Chains A and B, each alone.
Chain A
Amino acid sequence: MKTKTSRDVRKFIAIMILILAGLGVLPFFVGRFHVVLVTEALILGVYALSFDLIFGYGGMLSFGQSVFFGVGAYTILYSFKGGLGLGVSLLLAVFVAGIFGLLVGSAVVRVRGAKFFLITLVGSILFYLLALDNRWLTGGSDGMIVPTGFSGLAENYYLVLGISLSVIIFATVLVNSPLGLVFKMIRDNERRAGLLGYSVGRYKVTAFAIGGGLAGLAGGLYAYTTGFASAGFFHWTRSADAVVWTILGGAGTVVGPFVGAALLTFVRETLSAIMGNIYPVIVGVLLILAVIVFPGGLFGLLKGAVRNFGGSDE
């Protein structure tokens, strides 16, 4: 198997710059509908990446990511109601959801395998029911308006683009740091990581706190962008979305979750307009393909294509 060469890295960086340039000028060339769509795709990309840090790097298949998304959304809502500005509100969303990540993580990391999956799923359902019942706090399924003082679609788009880029840079630095290496070690072989002196539980909780904080950021941005938050933000299918996007895009990569989230957001929006309820079928087929035919996800496929483009180095 060929290892990553500097030429591959250069090609990859060149392509990323092209994509970024394209995203940078996007609002000048497409209509409002597509600006909103790309904004949503980016936010959901941040959300999928937050899950990938827990699953693709930390090795924990959690179905509880929607909890942090919902917590972030309602933190923004109450922060705005309290008269705080956007910057502080977003930081608060990260912080509060991060604390939830810490608490939820501490409660579940000792459980493994299928039990872990079930306990996070049940926890996610529990949070949804709590949000549904406590209408005074969440507005239940009708939700609540977020008093954002929203400045405009293009401005909001650039805000989201800037934050997404920062998150990608943060995650890239994190997964290539010594701490990121410990996450990958635990994912690969928990037992040996412990034997080498790493307190496995503590690192898993750390992954949960970081992943929770980023999911809170995504939830906050989503509530800010749509001007709305409801108990539905906590629904476990939203956790499942993160799982699907990440596996489809490429688990254990930083860009993969964005690819998965963007693709399925477009497919959903485009197809639902044309033929209604075919979206779940398409997602199902893509997932089966992802698991059987391209286990590295779409990002893995793209990487292979880039490597072969313009001749290989061998």
Chain B
Amino acid sequence: MNDTLLEVRGLGKRYAGFPALNGVDFSLRSGQVKGVMGPNGAGKSTLLKLIAGEIRASSGSVFFAGHPVTNLPVDRISNRGVSYMPQRPSCFPSLTVEENVRGAAQTSLFLSRAEDESIVRALLELVGLRERAGTTAVELPFGDKRLLDVAMALAGKPRLLLADEPTAGVDRDASEKILELLRKMSSPDSRGEFGLDGLIFTEHDREILLDFPDEVGFLRAGELIVEGSPERVKHEGVVQNYLADHRHFDDRKEDLV
């Protein structure tokens, strides 16, 4: 399969005249994983939100599976098979883990369908939260909340997943679990029931970024200035500078912990 799953043309967003994203072009082939990196405020989240329809584009267009989806309501884009997992944990705090996933998975408004129930069970198993099914979401530790987010994002069996910093703020254990899941869901041999046709994620961790995706894009000040295989991208001057700075920052963070 070599067809285009997602195509973004000249996508731009201005906030009160200030460009948050400026004429971004790229495409994602079916089966591809793309990582997006860049400094804070470079427009990484803005890019994902624009594709998901959460904010309206000021210019440009988005095509998903050959159809224009630019500025469609967020629920309609979701129902076409584009799932967006927000940057911070975003579950339904007063509901149980099981209800959170069921709400994301259910396909009928009036009956609880047996297929939906089995999807919920499979997802809880997949992310390792089956033991926690009856826990109220607000009481989950941070890492588990993030795993719950992943389960909910996969529940509608999307073709494309947009994950905004899926491992940010998460401890090493949960972080490895989340990456393992994303890798599994997007690898053609082992993806199974909740397999993805495409994955775009933003990330700060250089090891993850330069290892996992097929392609990496580097955003700075709202522009996509470098794009290509991880091998190629990491030898670009701007990226090396950024990574050097960032590693310094990471080291400092380790010291604080």
Contact B108 A178 (CB under 8 A): yes
Listed from nearest, the 7 A-B pairs whose CB atoms lie closest are A188-B92, A197-B78, A179-B109, A197-B79, A192-B90, A3-B134, A199-B75
Q: Mark B82-98, 1 if CB is under 8 A from A, else 0.
A: 01101000111111100
A188 and B78 contacting across the interface, CB-CB below 8 Å: no
Report B-chain residues with C-beta under 8 Å of the C-beta of A178. 106, 108-112
**Is residue A76 contacting chain B, with contact meaning CB distance below 8 A?**
no
Residues on B with beta carbons closer than 8 Å to the beta carbon of A182: 103, 109
CB < 8 Å: which of B86, B99, B111, B139 contacts A192?
Answer: B86
Number of A-B contacts (CB under 8 A): 78
User: Using Cβ atoms and an 8 Å threshold, which residues of chain A touch B73?
Assistant: 194, 199
Task: Give the docked Cα–Cα distance between A197 and B79 (Å).
Answer: 5
B134 to chain A, nearest CB (A): 5
From the candidates B84, B93, B136, name the one contacting A195 in the complex (CB within 8 A).
B84
Expressed in whole angstroms, the minimum distance between the Cβ of A2 and any Cβ of chain B is 10
A184 surroundings in chain B (CB, below 8 A): 92, 94-95, 99, 103
CB distance from B83 to the nearest CB of A (A): 8
User: How many B residues have CB within 8 A of the partner chain?
Assistant: 34
**Nearest CB of A to B137, in Å:** 9
Contacts of A185 in B (CB 8 A): 92, 95, 103
A181 part of interface (Cβ distance < 8 Å): yes
Q: Could you list which residues of chain A lie within 8 angstroms of chain B, going by C-beta atoms? A: 1, 3, 177-179, 181-182, 184-185, 187-189, 191-200
7 examples of A-B residue contacts, CB within 8 angstroms: A177-B109, A177-B112, A178-B108, A181-B95, A181-B103, A195-B75, A196-B104
B-side contacts of A192, CB under 8 Å: 86, 90-92, 152
Please state if A188 and B136 are interface contacts (CB–CB under 8 Å): no
B185 within 8 A of A: no
> Using Cβ atoms and an 8 Å threshold, which residues of chain A touch B86?
191-192, 195
Q: Name the distance in Å between A188's Cβ and chain B's nearest Cβ.
A: 4
Contacts of B78 in A (CB 8 A): 194-197
Least CB separation from B96: chain A residue: A3
Judged by a CB distance under 8 angstroms, whether B21 is at the interface is no
Nearest neighbor of A197 in chain B, beta-carbon distance: B78
Contact check, A179 vs B95: say whether CB atoms are below 8 A apart: no
A212–B86 Cα distance when bound, in Å, is 34
Q: Is B74 an interface residue (CB 8 A)?
A: yes
Among A1, A178, A193, A195, max chain B CB count under 10 A is at A195
**Is there contact, CB below 8 Å, between A200 and B90?**
no
**Can you name the residue of chain A whose Cβ is closest to the Cβ of B93?**
A188
Cα A3 to Cα B103 in complex, Å, equals 19
B239 sits at the interface (CB 8 A): no
Chain A residue at minimal CB-CB distance from B106? A178
Assess whether A181 is in contact with B106, with CB atoms less than 8 Å apart.
yes
